[in-house]
Structure 1
Amino acid sequence: MPHSPGSSASSQNHRFSVKDPGSALTHLIGFLAGIFLTPLILLHASARGAAFSDLVGLGIFMISLILLYGASTTYHTFAIPRRQILKKLDHMMIFVLIAGSYTPICLSILPQQSGRPLLIVIWSIAFLGMLFKLFFVHCPKWISSVLYIGMGWACIFVIPRLFVILPTTGFLLLFLGGLAYTAGGVLYAQKLTAWNMRHPFFGSHEIFHVFVLAGSLCHYLLMYHYIV
């Protein structure tokens, strides 16, 4: 029995397609890398005699990476009616990643008298940021960028101490990771309409994703080599 034109159109409407292929692919790489690299960094730290607090910090860092890249991949993959929820999760997980990146530094590198208070402050800001995104996910992009970058560079108050404690390469990895995230955040705040029209499949948002991946890689290398 032949299909009616209406049923054929309905079938096409329900055919799966990735909404933002470039954005989904870039952060799928981050998601899969996070899953693969988590046991490696934990086993490496354990072999070097890591304390329980070191492993907790590293575990939180890796979970935050997986959550961020998983939420971003999901949001950019599926065009569904309830995609608004996915957008909120995507934006909220950025705060989780920032706080997760602070956690090993506060628990394992900084002295307790400065590391513990900073950790409490950072996770409190992350919680407030997630609440903000839950209700105001459509705020202007520049506001989001200011929040993310400001939270990321709150470590400015302990930078002198980190400069003394960390080896030169470790400090450079910390700084370059922050620089990559910052460059990505600035790019995220820009519309760059002309560029995006010329490069519809790899526009400014996809480049922003690449900067985020670069920042995560720098900080992963920092955690892998210098936490224990």
Structure 2
Amino acid sequence: MNVDHKYLEELLNTISHGIAAIASILGFVILLNSISNHQIILISTLLYSFSLIILYTSSTLYHGVKNKKLKEIFRILDHCSIFILIAGTYTPIALISINGTTGWWIFAIQWSLVLIGSIFKFFFTGKYENTSLLIYIIMGWMIVLKWNILINSISTSALNLLIWGGIIYTTGIIFYVLDSRMKYSHFIWHLFVITGSTIHYIMIFKYVIN
């Protein structure tokens, strides 16, 4: 029996990020039960957890719905949620590990880029993809500009997880770019995103919030 690879890929995209969305909710509960009542830790955990949930939920809905109007709405949210996840992942590192003036500046710049990127995506989703990718990469690797501060703020184990997660995300972009030219490349991109976010979750859970 012949199966349309586009249909199968959308099904795989929906299932993969649907499972990740459920895992993100469970991960959120685990984080909440592990943290202290310190206000900054709580706020950082909430922003990080919600960014994960938003990304995987919006992606699942985008790939899963059939209605064209709804699909376009969820497509915009799906693209915006990438900005949100990057800033959300930065938040605990900036406010808990680095903290101080530098940490707050990183936090402010990241979430300002979320606003700028989201406005850009609202008007230009599907266009200027190279510009979007460049913003994602700049946001993701911005921390290297404060490398000396970073290496003095987190453990070597945390740093290794942070870097490897970033490398996996960045490598996955190759398959994102190949979306229309290679079968199942978008699904492979999804697997890279899940792997990268899992590594960063472990880092935040083990070395940042506790």
Decide which of 120, 131, 137 is 1:143's aligned counterpart. Answer: 131
**Displacement of 1:185:** 1.9
Match for residue 55 of structure 1 among 30, 42, 60: 42
Amino acid at match of 1:60: L
For the pair shown, which has the larger CA radius of gyration, 1 or 2?
1
2:179 and 2:186 in contact (8 A); partners too:
no
Aligned partners of 1:192 and 1:54: how far apart in 2?
A: 41
TM-score normalised by L of structure 1: 0.84
Contact 2:13 2:63 in 1 (8 A): yes
Are 2:45 and 1:76 equivalent residues in the alignment? no
Show the counterpart of 2:4: none
Q: Which amino acid aligns with 1:222?
A: M
Q: CA deviation at 1:121?
A: 0.8
CA contact (8 A) 2:16 2:190 kept: yes
Asked if 1:180 corresponds to 2:168, the answer is yes
Is this contact kept in 2: 1:180–1:211, CA < 8 A? Answer: yes
Aligned equivalents of 2:169, 2:134: Cα separation in 1: 12
Aligned residue runs from structure 1 range 116-155, under 5 A:
116-155=104-143
Give the alignment partner of residue 187 of structure 2, picking from 206, 210, 218: 206
Give the length in aligned residue pairs: 202
Partner of 1:37: 27
**1:146 counterpart SS class:** helix
Contact 2:9 2:187 in 1 (8 A): no
The Cα RMSD (Å) is 1.7
Checking the alignment, whether the CA contact within 8 Å between 1:45 and 1:224 is kept in structure 2 is no
**1:183, CA displacement in angstroms?**
0.9
1:219 partner amino acid? H
Cα gap change, 1:187 to 1:81, in 2 (>3 Å)? closer
- Gaps spanning 5+ residues in structure 1: where? 1-16, 197-202
**Counterpart position of 1:27:** 17
Whole-Å separation in 2 of the counterparts to 1:169 and 1:32? 27
Q: Specify which of 197, 205, 208 is matched with residue 216 of structure 1.
A: 197
Look up the match of 1:12. none
Structure 2 runs not aligned, ≥5 long: 1-6
Offset at residue 156 of structure 1 (A): 1.3
> What is the alpha-carbon distance in structure 2 between the residues aligned to residue 99 and residue 191 of structure 1?
25
Query: In 2, distance between residues paired with 1:39 and 1:220?
Result: 13
Could you tell me the TM-score, scaled by structure 2's length?
0.90
Q: Structure 1 residue runs of 4+, over 4 Å off?
A: none
